[in-house]
Amino acid sequence: MAWFRRSKASITSGPQRKDVPDGMWAKCDGCGEIIHRKQLEQQFYTCNKCNFHFRIGSKEYIQLLLDDGTFKEMDRKMRSKDPLEFKDSKSYKERIKDSIRKTGLNDAIRTGTGTLGGVDVVVGVMDFSFIGGSMGSVVGEKIARAIDRARKGKMPIVIVSSSGGARMMEAAFSLMQLAKTSAKLAQLSDEGMPYISVMTDPTTGGVTASYAMLGDINLAEPGSLIGFAGPRVIRQTIGKDLPPGFQRAEFQLEHGFVDAVVHRKEMKETVAKLLKWMSR
């Protein structure tokens, strides 16, 4: 015999609320605000409430930065090999195949030409979704070719970084890209062609130790993590707590490692003004 009887119908017994379609809403990692995807896109993938900048892909950043319909991609089919036959939880070959299938990219950067505020420009935009935006031999080669294109065409170059650093699966082949890209940028500088570096969250490791920090002007998005070793590694190494905001864009601006922290909504206008001023 039941000890009690429900006096009202269960709240689950009536018509069920329809599930919200996947991907329609996004939660801000900064303040927890729930934002509609369409609204988020209109806000350049930033939170109006707390100014948090969501990570976006190379496709979205190219659309944000370049004039409509002007982007022409270079070296799109270039793919990494597996010279070391590297394997951890899975083989490097399988990891590359999975990343290509999931992202539609062949590696962690898109390069090409276009116009930015009416100025002819070469661009390289990294994509964190492809193996953490890691820099392997393909990323280094595509950047080197983009720089050569800028030199040949007497055009400025803009590189947008978003990377966890050098790609461990390629070991020394990856580390060689630090020297290669830095040498190419030195050649570009010798010919007087401007280079603007834009650092987004995160920009770390070998990318920070090479082309990301070598711009004639270094810009950063608000709140971006920028550094070589991450704060957790540094904290464990020195055994001390780090200053508030350590290695964030604002910290790097205060200590002279970046020239300006620019909101994503203002990035295109800012870069366009700089390019026009530097190209005089």
Alpha-carbon distance of 274 to 263, in angstroms, equals: 15
pLDDT in the model for residue 18: 41
Q: How far is CA 173 from CA 81, 113, 166, in A?
A: 11, 27, 9
Domain range for 50 is 24-54
pLDDT in the model for residue 2: 54
- Here the CATH number for the domain that contains residue 150 is 3.90.226.10
- Partners of 124 in the β-ladder: 111, 159
Instruction: Note whether 107 and 204 are same-domain residues.
Output: yes
Residue 66: pLDDT band with limits 50, 70, 90: very high
Q: Is 51 helix (H, G, I), strand (E, B) or coil?
A: coil
Domain membership flag for residue 1: no
Buried b / exposed e along 88-125 (16+ C-beta atoms within 10 A)? eeeebeebbeebeeebebbbbbbbbbbbbbebbbbbbb
Instruction: Note whether 47 and 179 are same-domain residues.
Output: no
Residue 15: pLDDT band with limits 50, 70, 90: very low
- Which residues have CB under 8 Å from 7's CB, separation 6+? none
Instruction: Note whether 171 and 80 are same-domain residues.
Output: yes
Of residues 72, 55, 117, the one with CA closest to residue 267: 117
Of residues 117, 143, 135, 124, the one with CA closest to residue 62: 124
Domain membership flag for residue 14: no
* 113 backbone dihedrals φ, ψ, rounded to 5°: -120, 165
The long-range contacts involving 91-97, CB below 8 angstroms and separated by at least 24 positions, are 92/169, 92/170, 95/131, 95/169, 96/131
Domain membership flag for residue 138: yes
* Percentage of the chain exceeding pLDDT 70: 92
pLDDT in tens, 177-233: 999 999 999 999 999 999 999 999 999 999 999 999 999 999 999 999 999 998 888
Instruction: Note whether 176 and 39 are same-domain residues.
Output: no
Instruction: Note whether 184 and 160 are same-domain residues.
Output: yes
pLDDT in tens, 109-123: 999 999 999 999 999
pLDDT greater at residue 229 or residue 108: 108
Burial class (CB in 10 A: 0-12, 13-18, 19+), 244: exposed
Instruction: Note whether 85 and 73 are same-domain residues.
Output: yes
Domain membership flag for residue 39: yes
Domain membership flag for residue 228: yes
Domain membership flag for residue 219: yes
Helix/strand/coil percent split, the chain, to 5: 40, 20, 40
Structural domain total, the chain: 2
Instruction: Note whether 130 and 198 are same-domain residues.
Output: yes
Instruction: Note whether 45 and 160 are same-domain residues.
Output: no
- Which residues have CB under 8 Å from 5's CB, separation 6+? none
Instruction: Note whether 75 and 30 are same-domain residues.
Output: no
Domain membership flag for residue 5: no
Instruction: Note whether 251 and 115 are same-domain residues.
Output: yes
Instruction: Note whether 60 and 180 are same-domain residues.
Output: yes
Domain membership flag for residue 262: yes
Instruction: Note whether 75 and 184 are same-domain residues.
Output: yes
From 33, 54, 75, the end of a domain falls on 54
Asked if 199 contacts 219 with a C-beta cutoff of 8 angstroms, the reply is: yes
